[in-house]
Amino acid sequence: MTSPGPSLLVTGAAGGIGRAVAVQLAAQGALLSLFDRDADGLRTTADAVTAAGAPAPFTAVVDVSDRIGVADAVRRAAAGRPLDGLVSAAGVLESAGLTDTSDESWQRHFAVNTTGVFHLLQESAPLIRDGGSIVVISSNAARVPRLGMLAYAASKAAASALTRCAGLELAARGVRCNVVEPGSTDTAMLRELWADPETGVDRTVDGDPGAYRVGIPLGRIGAPEDVAAVVCFLLSDAARQVTLQQIFVDGGASL
**35, 58, 110, 152: the active-site residue:** 152
CB nearer to ligand NAD: pick between 29 and 229: 229
CB nearer to ligand NAD: pick between 61 and 129: 61
Using CB under 6 A as the binding rule, the residues of this chain from 11 to 40 that contact ligand NAD are 12, 14-18, 36-38
For position 5 contacting ligand NAD by CB under 6 A, the verdict is no
Cα(230)–Cα(134) distance, integer angstroms:
13
Among 25, 127, 137, 235, binds ligand NAD (CB under 6 A): 137
Question: How far, rounded to the nearest angstrom, does the alpha carbon of residue 102 sit from its chain's CA centroid?
Answer: 25
Residues 6+ apart with CB under 8 A from 93: 109, 149, 152, 189, 192, 193
SS3 78: helix
Assign residue 76 a region (left: φ > 0; alpha: ψ between -120 and 50; beta: otherwise): alpha
For position 225 contacting ligand NAD by CB under 6 A, the verdict is no
For position 184 contacting ligand NAD by CB under 6 A, the verdict is yes
Among 22, 26, 90, 158, binds ligand NAD (CB under 6 A): 90
**152 among known catalytic residues:** yes
Cβ pair 10, 124 in contact under 8 A? no
Cα(227)–Cα(218) distance, integer angstroms:
15
Contacting positions for ligand NAD (CB under 6 A):
12, 14-18, 36-38, 41, 63-65, 89-93, 112, 116, 137, 139, 182, 184-185, 187-190
Active site residue ranges: 152
